[in-house]
Amino acid sequence: MTAELLVQVIRVRTSSDPLPLPRYMTADAAGMDISADLDAELTIPPLGRALIPTGFALALPQGYEAQVRPRSGLALRSGLTILNSPGTIDADYRDEVQILLINLGDQPVLVKRGDRIAQLVVAPVTRVRWQEVEQLEPTGRTGGFGHTDLKKSQDS
């Protein structure tokens, strides 16, 4: 069984037709879909970006963060993704959650009120305490930025 965390949330604007709060779309989904809370349709041109309101603010418990991530289908179909992905919502942030979208596609993308534009994943935060040392323990790995692909081709 999956653990549940109680998170306080408020709607930041009133509407006669309120949007659903972020919600899981399947039983095993890790992320909750977030909807655009726009007053009017918005077109994002190729390589354009827009800050999209969601209509809610939340209060995460201390020791947690919320990560705002792209929706894969939206990225595939239209090239719409999140510019600072994943975006981080800290436990002490209390203002409206907004999503910074960018259109990496070659066609303009229309965003309408209620469109599911991102995912929200809540996760525990690990605090780091640095231990400065003279040398790091070695591993069998050397290199980076695709070095494992290069090694595979050299071994062939």
* Domain containing residue 102: CATH number: 2.70.40.10
Across residues 67-80, what is the average pLDDT? Answer: 94
Domain count, the chain: 1
Three-state SS at 14 = coil
Domain that holds residue 87: 21-127
Q: What is the pTM of this model?
A: 0.85
CB 84 within 8 A of CB 29: no
User: Residue 73: in which H helix or E strand, if any?
Assistant: helix 72-78
- Read off the pLDDT of residues 3-58 as tens digits, 9 standing for 90 and up: 899 999 999 988 888 999 999 999 999 999 999 999 999 999 999 999 999 999 99
Q: How far apart are CA 22 and CA 111, in angstroms?
A: 17
56 assigned to some structural domain: yes
Q: Give me the pLDDT at residue 145, please.
A: 76
122 assigned to some structural domain: yes
